[in-house]
C-alpha cells in the first residue's frame, strides 16, 4: 500500500470514528463492553477532538514533501496505534470481546504499516 493511500484511508477512517464518538458516543465503548451514562459522554468527545486532529494530520501529510516531516508523522501514528493496542490488551484482562480483539489486531497492523513507511522514507 502506498503511503499516500495509507494516509488517506487512515484519515477518512479516523474522521469517521470521530464523528461516531460525537454523534453516538456510547457506540464505540459498547464494542469493548463498556456502558456509558450520559454524564460520561464528555470523555468520548475529548477522544473525538483528538481523532479529528489526527485525521486532519493524516490527510494533510499526503502532500508533505519533507522526509523528516513524513517520518515524524509516521512515527507518531505508529506510536498512537501501538499504545492503543497495548491499552486494549490490558483491558482484555477485564472482558474479552471479538470486537476488541479485532480492533487491537487492526491497530497492530496499522502501526506496522506506519513503522515500515517511517523507516523507508528518505
pLDDT of residue 96: 74
CB 107 within 8 Å of CB 88: yes
pLDDT of residue 92: 72
User: Phi/psi class of residue 102: alpha, beta or left (left: φ > 0; alpha: ψ in -120 to 50)?
Assistant: alpha
Q: At what angle are helices 67-92 and 98-120 packed, to 10 degrees?
A: 160
Given a cut of 50, the residues of the chain with pLDDT beneath it are none
pLDDT of residue 97: 78
Provide the domain count of the chain: 1
> If we measure between CA atoms, which residue out of 12, 16, 2, 14 comes closest to residue 114?
2
Grid coordinates of 79 = 506510536
Q: Which domain holds residue 30?
A: 3-120
pLDDT of residue 90: 83
> If we measure between CA atoms, which residue out of 49, 109, 111 comes closest to residue 83?
111
pTM reported for the whole predicted model: 0.86
pLDDT of residue 91: 77
Amino acid at each position: 500500500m502506498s503511503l499516500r493511500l495509507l494516509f488517506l484511508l487512515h484519515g477518512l477512517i479516523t474522521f469517521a470514528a470521530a464523528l461516531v464518538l460525537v454523534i453516538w458516543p456510547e457506540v464505540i465503548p459498547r464494542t469493548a463492553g463498556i456502558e456509558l451514562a450520559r454524564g460520561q459522554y464528555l470523555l468520548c468527545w475529548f477522544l473525538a477532538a483528538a481523532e479529528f486532529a489526527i485525521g486532519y494530520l493524516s490527510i494533510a501529510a499526503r502532500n508533505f514533501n519533507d522526509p523528516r516531516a513524513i517520518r515524524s508523522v509516521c512515527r507518531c501514528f505508529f506510536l498512537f496505534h501501538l499504545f492503543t493496542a497495548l491499552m486494549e490488551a490490558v483491558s482484555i484482562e477485564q472482558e474479552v470481546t471479538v470486537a476488541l480483539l479485532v480492533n487491537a489486531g487492526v491497530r497492530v497492523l496499522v502501526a506496522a504499516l506506519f513503522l515500515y513507511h517511517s523507516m523507508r522514507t528518505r
